[in-house]
């Protein structure tokens, strides 16, 4: 008789008998990633350390429920943390495992679940996330997983399993094959009990039931699912198609857990070890932990921090790693971990991609140099698409507005409009240029040296700033939803966007396509800042005096125009009109900053494939190609014309 305990995890775990669970398999809510619709949910804590503290406390209760040879397979994904400037990878799963180990758990292995059909990403300055770790935990060194290892010493701890489509309205379903594969990593010679304390849509119970019904099943599994959400409980019952389930409803009970505190890097690394500085290159892979610790000590040294190129990338790997090593590098100051790469093999090992933690310089990630091809060629055409009536949104101006396409004036060879007429809510009719190839558009710009600053030159005039065709049209039809709106009734329907995760399928299915107004060129903010500072200094104005030239509402805006770090911003057209009241503006600079084009908002591919964060050994020597570890420059002088 399977059981569904309809309760929160604390109440459900405390209900179980001690030493009664042989295998636990679960994927808890990831931190700051989903909203499951109830106040007591896990994953919405204010900080990731609160999240970790809570799970460590709950999993300590789970440990007491495991049998002496019991095994706990814990799958949990990572999270990029919010930070002003560059965004660090939190390494939250590994920090959780570190504190669980300190709390008495044994980490037998870390299995990498690689997703060959992982979600695509628009990120272009790091590797694309394509895997999640699964920690193999136990309370004793002799357990059902180590029994498996005795018979399979050469097993691989990296497994390729596709994400599984599901009709169930649950936002984070892991694939059935993953659960079945993890169960295969145990050696149990008796009927046994499997627990999933975060049952969700019941994937674990579905796998158990399927395995029990197999003619190859030597022993049967009894499933215990803990699930708080009553809607998910109904999904589990329907999905497993069995009457052999007992429902146990338990009331919620408040509980408190101790707050854990992270160590300080200096205390954990430098004071516990006799460390020496070592010579570091762009790529550094070590066999010994002592060499790895020495590398971390070097990276914490002020001289090395100052000397390493501010726009550079450094890779540090360790073949014989422990959870402590991953935890240690997560505490490193003055550096940002952008990726934790997994190097394929029978047994994987990590390589960390790090960049400077500064607000001033952007680092270089030359993924184009790898010339990686997409599995499927980009061959989308638009000849059968009727673009009349498509919605257009302009969110880059101060007065945001909406419009719709009323006429296509010219098209590209692939059928995408090139020039269109747009009728706006304020009754204006404009001619707009549609961007098809952003790289080609940006090749239209050449930088030129001017008297005291860097200006720009356009090779072709795609569109003018003043693009109004006529005004005063009183017969303006109501702007409604685009003609591309889909009749969609899938699992993401009526679900808040936060729960879509990184799914482009959700976006393309639920949201209508539309055109967005964006800057025509990828404007280098430092060029604009240098130019505005040039104007300010020519008039011998302090930053305060320069700011006072503008209305009061610009008090906290103008200063950002003059900055060249991650806090810098670019004036929009209305701002340039105000600037022209006080200065004689270089028209080329204004065109560069203010010209706009329309971009179809749809899921699209880059020219070259951005590399995944699971790599083979052949890729290792190519990692150095990704970085320009030379003298950091804000403007590429190679593009400057005399």
User: What is the per-residue pLDDT across 96-107, written as a single tens digit (0 to 9) for each?
Assistant: 999 999 999 999
Q: In what order do the strands lie in the sheet with 131-138?
A: 158-160, 106-114, 131-138, 66-75, 21-26, 192-196, 221-226, 2-6, 245-249
CA–chain centroid gap for 258, Å, is 30
**CA dist., res. 86 & res. 494, Å (int):** 33
DSSP character at residue 562 = T
Res 476 pLDDT > 70: no
CA–chain centroid gap for 75, Å, is 17
In the chain, where does the domain assigned CATH 3.40.50.150 lie? 2-249
Rounded to whole angstroms, what are the CA distances from 285 to 126, 339, 612? 19, 15, 19
Res 584 pLDDT > 90: yes
For the entire predicted model, the pTM comes to 0.80
| Percentage of the residues of the chain whose pLDDT score is greater than 90 | 63
CATH code of 2-249, in short, is: 3.40.50.150
User: 10 Å Cβ neighbour count for 74?
Assistant: 24
Length of the chain counted residue by residue: 642
**Reduced to 3 DSSP states, what percent helix, strand and coil does the chain have, rounded to the nearest 5?**
30, 20, 50
Task: Give me the pLDDT at residue 486, please.
Answer: 47
Region 66-75 average pLDDT? 98
Res 172 pLDDT > 60: no
Which pLDDT band, with edges at 50, 70 and 90, does 483 fall under?
A: very low
Q: What is the pLDDT of residues 406-436, one digit of tens each?
A: 999 999 999 999 999 999 998 899 999 999 9
Region 34-55 average pLDDT? 77
Q: What is the pLDDT of residues 201-257, one digit of tens each?
A: 899 999 999 999 988 888 999 999 999 988 889 898 888 877 789 999 999 989 999
Region 27-55 average pLDDT? 77
């Amino acid at each position: 008789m399977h059981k569904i305990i309809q309760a929160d995890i604390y109440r459900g775990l405390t209900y179980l008998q001690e030493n009664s669970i042989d295998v636990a398999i679960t994927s808890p809510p990831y931190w700051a990633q989903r909203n499951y619709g109830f106040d007591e949910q896990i994953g919405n804590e204010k900080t990731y350390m609160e999240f970790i503290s809570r799970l460590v406390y709950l999993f300590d209760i789970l440990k007491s429920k495991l049998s002496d040879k019991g095994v706990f397979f814990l799958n949990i994904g990572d999270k990029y943390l919010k930070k002003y400037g560059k965004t660090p990878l939190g390494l939250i799963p590994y920090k959780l495992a570190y504190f669980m180990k300190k709390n008495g758990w044994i980490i037998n292995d870390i299995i990498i679940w690689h997703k060959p059909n992982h979600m695509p990403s628009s990120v272009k300055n790091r590797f694309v996330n394509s895997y999640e770790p699964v920690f193999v935990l136990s309370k004793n060194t002799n357990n059902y997983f180590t029994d498996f290892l005795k018979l399979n010493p050469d097993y691989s701890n990296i497994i390729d399993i596709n994400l599984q489509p599901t009709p169930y309205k649950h936002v984070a379903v892991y694939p059935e094959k993953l659960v079945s594969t993890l169960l295969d990593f145990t050696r149990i010679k008796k009927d046994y009990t499997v627990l999933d304390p975060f049952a969700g849509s019941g994937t674990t119970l579905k796998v158990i039931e399927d395995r029990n019904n197999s003619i190859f099943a030597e022993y049967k599994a009894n499933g215990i699912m803990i699930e708080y959400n009553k809607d998910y409980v109904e999904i589990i019952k329907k999905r497993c198609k069995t009457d052999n389930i007992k429902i146990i409803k338990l009331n919620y009970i408040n509980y408190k857990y101790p707050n854990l505190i992270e160590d300080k890097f200096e205390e954990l690394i430098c004071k516990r070890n006799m460390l020496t500085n070592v010579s570091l290159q762009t790529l550094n892979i070590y066999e010994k932990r002592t060499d790895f610790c020495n590398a971390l000590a070097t990276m914490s040294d002020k001289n090395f921090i100052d000397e390493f190129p501010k726009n550079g990338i450094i890779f540090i790997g360790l073949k014989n790693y422990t959870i402590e090593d991953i935890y240690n590098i997560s505490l490193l100051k003055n550096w940002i971990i952008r990726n934790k790469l997994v190097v394929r093999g029978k047994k994987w090992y990590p390589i960390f991609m790090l960049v400077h933690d500064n607000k001033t310089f952007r680092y270089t990630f030359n993924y184009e140099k790898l010339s990686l091809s997409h599995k499927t060629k980009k061959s989308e055409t638009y000849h059968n698409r009727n673009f009349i009536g498509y919605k257009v949104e302009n969110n880059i101006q101060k007065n945001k507005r909406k419009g719709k396409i009323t006429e296509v004036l010219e098209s590209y060879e692939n059928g995408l409009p090139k020039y269109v007429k747009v009728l706006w809510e304020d009754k204006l009719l404009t001619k707009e240029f549609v961007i098809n190839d952003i790289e080609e558009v940006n090749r239209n710009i050449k930088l030129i040296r001017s008297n005291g600053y860097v200006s720009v030159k356009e090779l072709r005039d795609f569109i003018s700033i003043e693009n109004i065709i006529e005004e005063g049209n009183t017969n303006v039809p109501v702007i409604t939803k685009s003609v591309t709106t889909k009749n969609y009734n899938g699992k993401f329907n009526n679900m808040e966007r936060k729960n879509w995760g990184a799914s482009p399928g959700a976006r393309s299915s639920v949201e209508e396509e539309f055109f967005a107004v964006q800057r025509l060129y990828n404007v280098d903010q430092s060029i604009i800042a240098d130019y505005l500072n040039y104007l300010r200094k020519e008039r011998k104005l302090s930053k305060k005096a320069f700011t006072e030239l503008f209305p009061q509402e610009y008090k906290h805006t103008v200063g950002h125009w003059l900055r060249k770090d991650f806090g810098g911003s670019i004036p929009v057209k209305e701002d340039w009109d105000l600037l022209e009241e006080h200065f004689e503006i270089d028209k080329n600079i204004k065109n560069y900053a203010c010209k706009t084009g329309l971009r179809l908002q749809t899921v699209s591919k880059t020219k070259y494939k951005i590399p995944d964060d699971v790599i083979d050994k052949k890729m290792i020597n190519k990692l150095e190609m990704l970085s320009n570890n030379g003298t950091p420059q804000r403007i590429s002088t190679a593009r400057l014309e005399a």
